[in-house]
Structure 1
Amino acid sequence: MPGQNAMQIFTLLDKSNCGKCGDKTCLAFAGAVFTGRKSIDACPTLEKDIKERFRSPGNDGAEAAEDYLEEMTSQLATLDFSSAAERSGATLKNGWISARVMGKEFRVNREGRFSSDIHITNWVTGPFLSYILHGKGLEPTGNWITYREVDGGRERYGLFQQRAEADLRKVADAYPDLFRDMVEVFQGSEVENQFEADISVVLMPLPKVPVMISYWLPEDGLESSLNIFFDETVNDNLGNDGIYSICTGLTTMFEKLAERHGFKM
C-alpha cells in the first residue's frame, strides 16, 4: 500500500456510513483498508479514478500525503464556513476561518491557502482540516481517556507508545524545562492532582481537543513514566489519526526544542 494512513483513506470516502462494504462506519472501513483486511474496491460509492490513484505504484508516501491533503482542501470550496467556525470554536473574518493551534492562530480560506503564526507542516495541516471539515464540535467533558480507549487505539497503541509517549518521556528526562516551556511557549496550563502524577500539563492543539501530558519522576529505583490522555470527546471532534499525527508531531518538535538547548535524547 503506497503510504496512506487510515485518516487519509477516510477523507476519500463519502462519510455516509452506508454499511454496504460490511463495516458499520466509513472510519471503520478506512481502518480495515489501512490494515490490509479489506480492499479499497469494497467501497461501492468511491469513484473509479480515485481507486486507481489509490493503488498507483508510483504514488509513494509523500505523494499520497499531498494527494489526501489536496482532497481535504478541495472540500473547503463547498464548506459552510460560518457553521464550521461556530461548531469548531473557530472564528471567521474576511473569508478566512481561523482557530488557535497550540495557542497560535492557524488560518485557511476557501481557496485552500494557509496562514499561520506557527510553521505550517502536514502534522498540523491534516488534523486542522479534519477538525474543521468533519469534527462534531462537542464541548470537552473533562473526562480523560488513554490512547487505548480511543476508537482504534488499542490496535495501534504499540506504535503510539513508542513514537509519542516513550520518545517524549526521554525528552522530559533529559530536558528539565520541558513542561515550563509547554506552558509558556505553547500557552498550556499545569494542572494538579491528575492520576497522582508529579507534573500534568494540558495543551490545546485545537480549540476543543485538549491533550494532557502526565509525567511521573523516577523513584525508588523505578524509571520515570509519561502518559498522554485525551478528553473522551476526541473520537467525535478529531479521531484517531488526527491525534496520532498531532502527538507524534509534538514529540518531534519537543525533541528539536531540547536539542537546541543542548540536550541530547
Structure 2
Amino acid sequence: MVSTYAFNGVQRPASRLTAPQDLFNSFYHNSSWACLRETRRRYQAHEKKPKLTMEVTGSDINALILDYLTTEGYPSAAAKFSKEANLSPRQEEESVKARQQIQHSIHMGSIQDAIEALNDLEPQVLDKNPSLHFALLRLQLVELIRTCNSTPGGDISPALSFATTQLAPRAPTNPEFLEDLERTMALLVFPPDNLEPQLAALLHPDLRRSVGDQVNKAILTSQNQRRDAAIRNLVRLRAWAESTARETKKDLPARLELGLDFDEDRPENGEAMIL
C-alpha cells in the first residue's frame, strides 16, 4: 500500500519528490511570495527602462533665442532669426517695433514722445499703474533739469512749471512720490559737477534704462505676455539650484563655469548673475 499525505484537503502520494514540490508550490503561490515576485518584476522592468536624461536640442536653443529677441524688443533681429530658424514669430512684428520705439525714446531722454506712444499702444497701462506713470513724469523732469543745467544761467522755468503741474498734484498720494520729487528738485539747487551720489544717480543713464525696462514689462503684462525672457528665468533658476546645493553641503566644485568665453574675472562666468 502506497502511503499518502493530505495537502489542501487532497490525498497525495508521499514520494520524496512530490511532497517537497507541493510544499514549494504552496509557498510560491501564497500572498507573501506573490508580493516578492511582483516587486522583483517591477524592479527588473525599471532597470530595463532608458534612464531619464535632459537633452537640449538645437530647436530648443533657437526658441530660447527668439524668445529673448522678442521679449527684449528687437523686432528686426527677431524677424530675421525666426525666418532663418524656421520658427513662428512669438508676437506680431509691429507690436514688437512699437515697444522698441518706446524704449528707444526713453533711452534717448524723449520722455514725452514715449508717453504718447505708450498711450497709443496700450492706453490703460499708465491709468492702472500710478507708480510707473510717476516714474516716467519724474524722468521727464530730470531731462528738463538736465537741459537747463547744460548751459550756464539756463532757464529753469520749464522744469518748475512741469513739476508744479504734473508732479506736485501726485506727490501727496504716496510718500515715495514726495521723496522722489524733493530729491529731483534738489538738482536745481546744487551744481551738476558736485552732486551727492543719490543725486548724481538721477542723471546717470541707468535711470533711463530702469524706467524703460519697467515700461517694457508693463506693456508685456498688458498684452498677456511673459514679462521676462525665458533665459533670464533659467539664469535665476541656475543660481538658485547652485545656492541650494551649497547650503545643503552637496559636493560641488568651488567654481561652476557657465561656459562663456569671457574674462575669468567677470562674475557672469563663475556665478550666475541675477538679471
Q: Same fold (TM over 0.5)?
A: no
Structure number with larger C-alpha Rg: 2
> What TM-score bracket applies, with the shorter chain setting the length?
under 0.3
More strand by share: 1
Give me the TM-score of the superposition, normalised by structure 2: 0.26
Give me the TM-score of the superposition, normalised by structure 1: 0.27
RCO greater where, 1 or 2, for CA within 8 Å and sep 6 or more? Answer: 1
More helix by share: 2
